[in-house]
Amino acid sequence: MQTELFTSSDPHWLGKQVVVLPGFVLDRFERLLPALRQIVLAAPFRNMTTPGGRTIAVRVTNCGELGWISDLHGYRYSPVDPLSGKPWPALPEVFLELARSAAHSAGFEDFTADACLINSYLPGNRLTLHQDRNERDFSQPIVSVSLGLPATFLLGGHTRAERTQRVALQHGDVMVWGGEDRLRFHGILPLQDGRHPVLGARRINFTLRKAG
């Protein structure tokens, strides 16, 4: 039986291979939070720059063998944190297990993440429509975990111009997209003000990927 603290409900399919798993991470949150804190101590959140020279408002960091970076030279994955010159912190076991088990629930077997991009949104921060296409193998899904303040995720189609659907994401939800939906455009509407009892006035999202 589920307790009131950990309420998860049935998967919500938004397309053939894109699904929201409501509350999927809630029963792991207690183990996940210290791991996240360790990562952020070793590799702090920072603002990156777009290849065009604009500052990305959402602050990011990474863990795993590879980390997503952006600077004047472009978007790519790097085995080292450009701030420290050292490898990114390792992917904690609780992240790896979560990635594998969420991917399995979405119909993707044997998913082994080697990269995890962690985003920190403050109220007002948004993420404009984009595709995740810096990874090498598009047969592998993206597993996306939402913590803290709720957000509205925009799920588009395979071109930027296509209509988007709005998806409400709450603390503890996991979204998985892959297969024919792997390259769909997506983004986040400006984060609304609010306060989460544990994480405060912010949203943390992390995406587990197979980048290399």
Site for Fe ion, residues 127 to 156, rule: CB under 5 A:
132
Please give the structure tokens belonging to residue 139.
């047969």
Least separation in angstroms between CB 122 and ligand SIN: 13
Question: Among Fe ion, ligand SIN, none, what does residue 102 contact (CB within 5–8 Å per kind)?
Answer: none
Site string for Fe ion, 83-122 (x = CB under 5 A): ----------------------------------------
Binding mask 54-83 for ligand SIN (x = CB under 6 A): ------------------------------
Which lies closer to Fe ion via its Cβ, residue 31 or residue 59?
Answer: 59
* Interface of this chain with ligand SIN, residues 172 to 191, rule: CB under 6 A: 186, 188
196 assigned ligand-binding residue: no
Q: Does 205 bind ligand SIN (CB under 6 A)?
A: yes
Residues that bind ligand SIN (CB under 6 A): 117, 119, 127, 144, 146, 153, 186, 188, 205, 207
